Structure 1
């Protein structure tokens, strides 16, 4: 139960911090760059997974 409380507090602090950072132009640019890099990474993982899946299926 204690771990769940710490998780919830961490999420609340993270959301609050992200909103405060997003208010400034530099902060918004930083969060946008993080979002772009995250999308690139997840797209690369998805492409790799799909390629390996096709390879294993013999397609």
Structure 2
């Protein structure tokens, strides 16, 4: 329980410090850059997922066609 309390205190302190840093111009630039990088990363992961899903669907379709031809 003591570890959980310190965990919650750490999260609260982190949010308070981040809020204070975000009030400065350098802090705004930092968090804007961090937000952009996180968005770009998420978009890249989503794009990779969609491409891989399309590849797998194409392979499955080919396999289904091959099985149908064999029948």
Q: TM-score, normalised by structure 2?
A: 0.70
RMSD: 1.7
Runs of at least 5 residues in structure 1 that lack an aligned partner in the other structure: none
Count of residues in correspondence between the two structures: 59
Distance 1:10 1:39 in 2: 26
Runs of at least 5 residues in structure 2 that lack an aligned partner in the other structure: 62-71
Match of 1:22 in 2: 22
> How is 1:1-59 mapped onto 2 (pairs within 5 angstroms)?
1-58=1-58
Distance 1:43 1:33 in 2: 15
- Which protein, 1 or 2, shows the higher relative CO under an 8 Å CA cutoff with sep ≥ 6? 1
Q: TM-score, normalised by structure 1?
A: 0.82
